[in-house]
Chains A and B, each alone.
Chain A
C-alpha cells in the first residue's frame, strides 16, 4: 500500500477546517473478457468472469467503510464492444448501494464506453452525476449546504477524442475550496496506448486544480505530486501484462494537505514468476521445484494467474521445452494448486534460451547455416494464409504481424535447429 502525503501552504482566504474525501477509480472494464486465458478450468473460469464485479463490490465497500464524500470514476466502466447488460445492471446496483450511504458518484465515459456506443439504456440512481458530453463541464459538490468542491470533466461521445481536452478546463470563479479535474486520456509522450485526449503535464498544472483524476492507463502511476496528477490504474488485472495489486485511491483533500491511500480491489492477480531450474537434472524434479517456488512466491497473496519463465544453465530444459515435455508437468502442477482456497493457475510459461543460435552456426555453409539465413530473409505471411485467411477462421483471428510474427519465426527456427542437430553426435 502506498501512502502519499504532501503539505502546502494555505491558499488565500482558505478555511482551514475544510476537508473532503473521495475514491478515485478508473477503467473498471466490467464484464470484459480476459486476454490470454485459453482453456482454464471451469471454477477458475467462473472466478475470472466475476472478478471485475467483485472488484467493483470492493470499491463500493471501500467507499462506505471510509465514509467518503463521493466516488470519481474516470471512464471505461465497461466495454461497448463486448457489452453485457449485466455490467451496467451491476453498476446500477453498486450505485444504489452508495446512494443508501449518501455517497455521490461522478463519472465520465471513456473510449471503451463512449456514449454513442452504449446500447443499454440503464438508468442510474440520482446520486450518480454523469458528464453528459464531450464539452468540459462541471458539477459542484455540497457539504452542509455549502459548495465545497467543483468537479470538472467530459465524456467520450464517440470512440476517440483526439483534441487536447486538457486545455478546455477552466477553474470556476468564486471561493470554492477544492477543484478536481477528471480526465480520461494519456500523456503526449505515451506511445504504448491509443493516444486519446493528449495532454502535457504543464497543461494540467497551470490550471491550479487541487487534484487531477486521470483514467485510461491501466498501470497505476502518480505523475506529479503538487498538485496530485494520478492514474489509479484499473481495478482488476485482465491480462498478463497487468500484474500485481490493482485498485483505487482513497484521497483526503484538505486545505493544507493531501493524503492518498491505495486500496487494492482485485479478487485475483496476474503475476509473472521466473524459476531457475538449474538444479533439476530430470524432468520429474521439475514438478516439485515449480510447486515449491510457487508456494514460496505466493505465500501471502490471494488467487493468482501465473506466468512462469524457466531458466537453467543446463541443456536439458531446452530439450524438454523443444520436445514439449513441459506441458504435462505444468498440467500436473496446476492440478494441485488450482484447488486450494487461494488458488493459483499457471496459464502460460516460457523457457529462457541459454544460448541463441550463434553467429558461427548462421555463417556456416552447411544446411543449418543456410536455414538460419533463410529465416532471417523471408517473411512468413504467405505460409500462414492457409489458416488466417480461411473463410471460417479469419473472423475469429487477428492477423499475425510484428512481434507475434517474430516470435513464431523464432520458435520455428529453434525447433528446426534443435531437431536437425539433436542426434548429430551419435
Chain B
C-alpha cells in the first residue's frame, strides 16, 4: 500500500494544499522546524484512521472554515482509491472512491487496513527520535524487554503492565503472607468464624437447657403431687385426733341402741297426737248432752203456747174489722168537714142576696136561667148608651164654641173699620216723600261741579305759560333772524322773522280766548229750593205702611166669619142623628125588663157587673147541692160499719156498752197478742231444728276423732289405750339414743369431710391416740423435706430460664453471623479483584510467550540482517533475550555483548534494525507505509548514509516516508524523492 497524494482542504496550518508522494516508494519530506511536518503526519493518520471530535476540533485551521481532505492511496489488490474525510460530514467518517467510480464507507476502509488501529499503526509503522530517547531513560536491565515489547505489540507497555499487575496481585494476596489485603481478610474471617462457632455452640446449648427446664418442671410437678398427698395425710391425722373422743361416745350409744328391738313400729309423735285427739273429743261430748236437754225444754214450751189461742176464724174476723177501721175514721172526718162547708155556703149565698137587694130569694136562684149570649147583649146595651150620652155632650160643647168665635170676630171687624186713615191725609203724605227725593238729587249734582272748576284752574295756568313761552320764543327767533339778515345782508330773512313773530302773537291770543269760554261754562251751575227733612219723610212713609196693614187684616176677618157660619149648619145635622139612636136603645132596654123583671130595679149601666154576681151565685148554689148529696152517702157507710162492729161483739158475748173507739182498741189488742204468740211458736220451732242439726254435727266430729284414736292404737300394734301409752314410752327412749348417735355422727362428719375416710374411721375400732401422734410427726417431717426440694428445683429452673431468656434476647450471634457473612462478601470481592489481576497477568505472560514464539525467529533474522547492514557487518548475530539474559549481539570476532554494554549509537542502530525487522515481518500482511520522524538525528554522516541507503532498499517492499529537518538527510535521500516543505509545498 502506498500513499500517492494528499490534498488538504484544511488541517492545522495546512489550508488548500496538495502534497504529492508519488515520486517513489521512499519519500523524504524535508522541512525546517515549524514547517508543518508533524501536522502533515497527523493529517495522514487522520485520513487513514479518523479522529475523535475533540482532536478534530484541535486541528481546525485558524484561517479557514474547512477541515478535512483527501488521501489517494494505491493498493496492490484494489488499485488506486481516494479517502476523503471532512469534519462535519458524517462525523468525519471516511468516504472511499475507487477507480471503478464506486464509493465505500469506513468499514470498507477498515477491511483494507486489515484491522489496523491508529495505535497499532503508530507502534509498528512509525517511530521517532522520541522513541529512542525514551529507551535511553529505561533501566538498562529492562532494555531487552522493552525492545521486545515495542517490537511485538507496537507499544512499550507490556512490561510495565506486567509489573503493575504483579504489584497489585502482591498487594492483594500472597500465599504465605500476612499483610496483603486478602490475607488479612482471611485472618478476620478466621476470627469471626471461631466466634461464630462458639456462639453456635452456645445456642445449641439452648436445646439442652430447654430440655433441662422441661425435666425440672416435670420433677417439680411430681414432688408437688407427693407434697399434696402428704399434706392431706397430715390433715387427716389431725382430724382423726380431734374426732377420737366423739367416736368413742358414738360407739357407746350404738351399743345401747342395740338393746332395743330393731323393728319397733310406733306412729310419728304418737303420744302427742293421742292426747290431742282426746282433748278435742271431751268438749264435744259435753256439748252433745246439753243440746239433748234443750230439745226437751223447747217442746214443752211450744205445747203450752198452742193451748192459749182462740179459733183461727175469730182472728180473721177481727182482722177484717181492723182493716176497715181506718176507712171508717176517714169517713167520719169527711162527714164533719162537708157538713161545715154546706153551712158556710148557705150563709154566703144569703149574704150575697141581701146585698143585691133586688127581691131575689135563695129558692129563686135555682129557677133563674141565663143563656150564653145574655152577657154580651147586656154589655152591648150598656156601651151603646154610654156612647150616645158622650156624643150628645160633645155636640153641645161644639155649639157653644162656635157661638163664642162668631161673636168675637164681629167685634173685631168693627174695631178695625174705625181705625183706618182718611183719604186726603194719605195723599199729603205721599207728596211729602216725593219732594224729599228730588231735593237729594240736586245736592249731589252741585258737589260734582265744584270739583270741575278746580281742575280747570290748573289747565288754564299751564296753557297761559305755554302761550307766553311760544310768544317769547318766536320773538327771539324773529330777532336772531333779523340780525342774521342784517349781517348777511339778506332781506328775505326779515320777512321770515316777521312771520314767526306774527304766529307767536296769534297763538297767544287764541289761547286766551278759549280759556275765558271755559270759565264761563263752569260758573253757571247754582240752585236754591224749599227744604224737606229726612225725619219728616220717613215718618210719612211709616204712617202709610201701617194703614195698608190694617186694610189687609180687615179682609181676612171677613173670610173667617163666613167659614164659622158654615160649621153651624153642619152641627144642626149631627144633633138630629143622635136623637134617633137614643130612641132605638130605649126600646131594647124595655124588652129586657120584661124578660128579667128584677132588672127593673137596676140601672142599665150596671148590668154587666150584675150579670157576673148573679152568675157566681147560681154556681155557688149548685156546688152546695152537690156537697149535700155526697154527705148523705158518707152517713150510710158509717152506719153500716157500726152495725158490723156490734154484731162482732154480740157473737163473742162481749159487753157492747163501750164507744166505737174502745171497741176497736180491744179488737186491736186481741190481734197484737195473737201475733206475739205466733212469733214465739216459730222461734221455738227454729231452735228445735237448729238443735237437731248441732247434735248431728257434734256426733260427726266425735266420730272422726274416735276413728283416729283407733287408728293410732292399731298402728302401734296395740289393743288398748294403756298398751299404746306404754309402748310410747319405750319408743321415746330408743329415739333418744338414735338422735344422740346422729348428732355425734354429724360432729365427726364436720371434722372429717371425706366420706370414705369417715366411714372407715367409724368402722375402725381401737384406734389409739399415741399411734396417731407418732404418725403425725412422721408426715410433718416428710412435708418439710419435700418443700425444701421443690424450692431448690424452682430456683434451678429460674436460673436456667434466665439463661434461656438471655439467649433469646441476645443479638450477638445474629450480629456475628451477619458480620461474618459481610466479611465473606468482602473476601469474595477482593478475591474477584485478585482473580482479574491474576488472570490478566497470566494471560499477558502466556500471550507474550506465544507471540514471541510465533514471530521471534523471523524478527530476529530480519533484525540481524538490518543490523549487519547498519553496522557494516561489525555485528553479525543478534540473540533474543531469554528469561535472565537480555538482548545480545555477537560481533564478527565472536564476542557476545549484552545490550547495556553497547554504546548509545549501537543501541539506536539495534533499535532501528529491530523496528525495521518487525515492520518487515508485519508488512508481509499489512504493507502500510512506514513513517519515520527524524529518528536519526544522533547518527553521524556515515551511519546516516548507510541507513538512508538501507531504507531506500527497504522501500522496495514498503513505502517509506521520512520526515526530517536536516538538510543532510534530505540530500542523502537523493533529490528525486524529496518533498520540500520550506515554502509551502514544492515538488521537483
Contacts and interface: CB of A to CB of B under 8 A. Distances in A.
> A and B: real partners?
yes
A49 interface: yes
B203 A85 contact: yes
Contact of A411 (B164, B813, B836, B847): B836
B828 A397 contact: yes
Contacts of A82: 817, 821
B843 A393 contact: no
A424 interface: yes
Contacts, number: 198
Contact of B846 (A378, A421, A422): A378
A89 B820 CA distance: 21
A71 interface: no
A411 B168 CA distance: 15
B814 A370 contact: no
A33 B821 contact: yes
Best-buried of A37, A369, A420 by chain B (most CB within 10 Å): A420
A38 interface: yes
B614 interface: no
Interface in A397-424: 397-398, 400, 404, 408-409, 411-413, 415-416, 419-424
Nearest to A390: B175
Contact of A368 (B120, B186, B826, B834): B120
A366 B186 contact: no
A85 B825 CA distance: 23
Given A85-B203, A408-B832, A421-B117, A367 B152 contact: yes
Q: How large is the interface on B (under 10, 10 to 19, 20 to 34, 35 or more residues)?
A: 35 or more
Contacts of B826: 38-39
A81 B276 CA distance: 100
A392 B190 contact: yes
A119 B207 contact: yes
B203 A367 contact: no
A114 to B, nearest CB: 17
A53 B17 CA distance: 77
A262 B823 CA distance: 35
A48 B818 contact: yes
A226 interface: no
A378 B850 CA distance: 13
Given A371-B847, A416-B843, A425-B119, A365 B925 contact: yes
B152 A416 contact: no
Interface stretch (A194-202, A229-237, A379-387): A379-387
A86 B814 contact: yes
B58 to A, nearest CB: 13
Contacts of B175: 386, 390
A387 B180 CA distance: 12
B851 interface: yes
A84 B817 contact: yes
Given A31-B817, A45-B822, A121 B210 contact: yes
A143 B162 CA distance: 75
Interface residues of A, number: 65
Given A380-B839, A386-B838, A363 B115 contact: yes
Interface in A35-63: 35-40, 45, 48-49
Nearest to B825: A38
B461 interface: no
A34 to B, nearest CB: 7
A126 interface: no
A425 B832 contact: no
A85 B189 contact: no
Interface in B840-887: 840, 842-844, 846-848, 850-851, 854
B815 interface: yes
A34 B823 CA distance: 11
Contacts of B822: 33-34, 37-40, 45
B695 interface: no
A415 B173 CA distance: 19
B158 interface: yes
B831 A424 contact: no
A49 B815 contact: yes
B807 interface: yes
Interface string B509-524: 0000000000000000
A374 B114 contact: no
Interface in B178-202: 182, 186, 189-190, 193
B829 interface: yes
B604 interface: no
Contacts of B821: 33-34, 82
B190 A412 contact: no
A315 B52 contact: yes
A37 B815 CA distance: 14
A31 B328 CA distance: 142
Nearest to B153: A367
A143 to B, nearest CB: 33
A367 B851 contact: yes
A361 interface: yes
Contacts of B824: 396-397
A416 B210 contact: no
A420 B843 CA distance: 13
A121 B809 CA distance: 16
A387 B846 contact: no
A83 to B, nearest CB: 8
B511 to A, nearest CB: 137
A365 B919 CA distance: 12
B272 interface: no
Given A38-B822, A38-B828, A390-B175, A413 B154 contact: no
A120 interface: yes
A343 interface: no
Contact of A424 (B155, B820, B837, B926): B155
A139 interface: no
A378 B849 CA distance: 14
Contacts of B814: 31, 49, 84, 86-87
A374 B843 contact: yes
B203 A361 contact: no
Contacts of B318: none
Contacts of A85: 203, 206, 807-808, 810, 813
A14 interface: no
B110 A408 contact: no
Contacts of B186: 392-393, 396
B157 A412 contact: no
A370 B844 CA distance: 10
Interface string B306-322: 00000000000000000
A386 B441 CA distance: 185
B123 interface: yes
Contact of A367 (B115, B154, B837): B154
A364 B110 CA distance: 12
Interface in B50-100: 52
A361 B823 CA distance: 40
A425 B818 contact: no
Residue of A380, A392, A398, A419 ringed by the most chain B CB atoms within 10 A: A419
Contacts of A378: 843, 846
Contact of B122 (A120, A367, A369, A424): A424
Which of the listed residues B152, B153, B811, B826 has the most CB atoms from chain A within 10 Å of its own CB? B153
A364 B115 contact: yes
B713 interface: no
Given A40-B822, A364-B116, A388-B831, 20 more contacts: A31-B817, A31-B818, A34-B821, A38-B826, A38-B828, A84-B813, A86-B808, A86-B810, A121-B211, A370-B854, A371-B844, A378-B846, A386-B175, A387-B173, A408-B836, A412-B835, A416-B161, A419-B157, A424-B122, A425-B119
28 contacts: A31-B814, A33-B817, A33-B820, A38-B823, A84-B817, A86-B811, A119-B204, A315-B52, A364-B117, A366-B120, A367-B152, A367-B154, A367-B851, A368-B153, A378-B843, A383-B835, A386-B175, A387-B831, A387-B835, A396-B824, A396-B827, A397-B824, A397-B831, A408-B835, A416-B161, A416-B844, A419-B164, A424-B123
Which 7 A-B residue pairings sit nearest by Cβ, starting from the closest?
A424-B119, A33-B821, A360-B115, A367-B153, A38-B826, A412-B840, A412-B839
